[in-house]
Amino acid sequence: MDRARGGWLDTTVRLLTRRNSVYVAFILTGALVGERVVDYGINKLWESNNVGKSFEEIPSLGKKVAEEG
């Protein structure tokens, strides 16, 4: 069985790996975008698991003590 030439995956790989500069730019952009996505997801997960436990949400800790001077 012959594979059809010009599939979308083959075309994408050929387009991205034809020149080294395009390949490096694709990898760097993917790393930066991936880092932002993971950071956002971890922060949302952290906030949802710690509702009511942050410094600002605890009444006795969230207030600044007035300094006497």
Which stretches of the chain are assigned E, i.e. beta strand? none
Residue at 63: amino acid letter: K
Q: Would the pLDDT of 1 be above 50?
A: no
Q: What one-character DSSP code corresponds to residue 55?
A: G
Please provide residue 67's backbone torsions phi and psi, each rounded to the nearest 5 degrees. Answer: -80, 135
Domain edges within the chain: 24-60
Please tell me the pTM assigned to this model. Answer: 0.59
pLDDT in tens, 18-64: 999 999 999 999 999 999 999 999 999 999 998 877 777 777 766 65
